[in-house]
Structure 1
Amino acid sequence: MGNTWAVDLADVGPVYPWMGLEVIMVLVAIALWILWHIVQIREENADYADDIKKFGSKEAIKKALDDHPV
């Protein structure tokens, strides 16, 4: 029972893993978030292009969506 947290944490050392890599991890997370958006936009644009080929025009797509019962 000799362990206690009532000490100066500067003397304890790292209290969690990967200490000092916080900035790098945030930059990686932001890069992955931006990459996800780029991939998502490309996929949605490809789906939209397929719909235009299928229905013929933007107006036909709008009409198909408006006429479709919910």
Structure 2
Amino acid sequence: MIEYLLKLQVKDENKIRIINNHIFRKKHMTDKEMEEKQIEFCKSMSENYEKAGKTLEILEYSMTEVS
């Protein structure tokens, strides 16, 4: 199994937080698949915060393969 770490740095009200998401795959992801997962995760987190009535500002995001 190949593990990927998707890291999202966000500003939640006046706090800066890091949200981690681990993804496991049987085979390596292509650059396109990684980019799609990053965008999907950012949208999902934004929607979750909106539903909770909060504002989420995404400062940075990245996805790396964990050895």
With the length of structure 1 as denominator, give the TM-score of the two structures.
0.34
The structure whose RCO (Cα within 8 Å, separation 6+) is larger is: 2
- The structure carrying a bigger strand percent of its residues is 2
Structure with the higher fraction of residues in helix conformation: 1
Rg: which structure is higher?
A: 1
Q: State the TM-score, normalizing by the size of structure 2.
A: 0.35
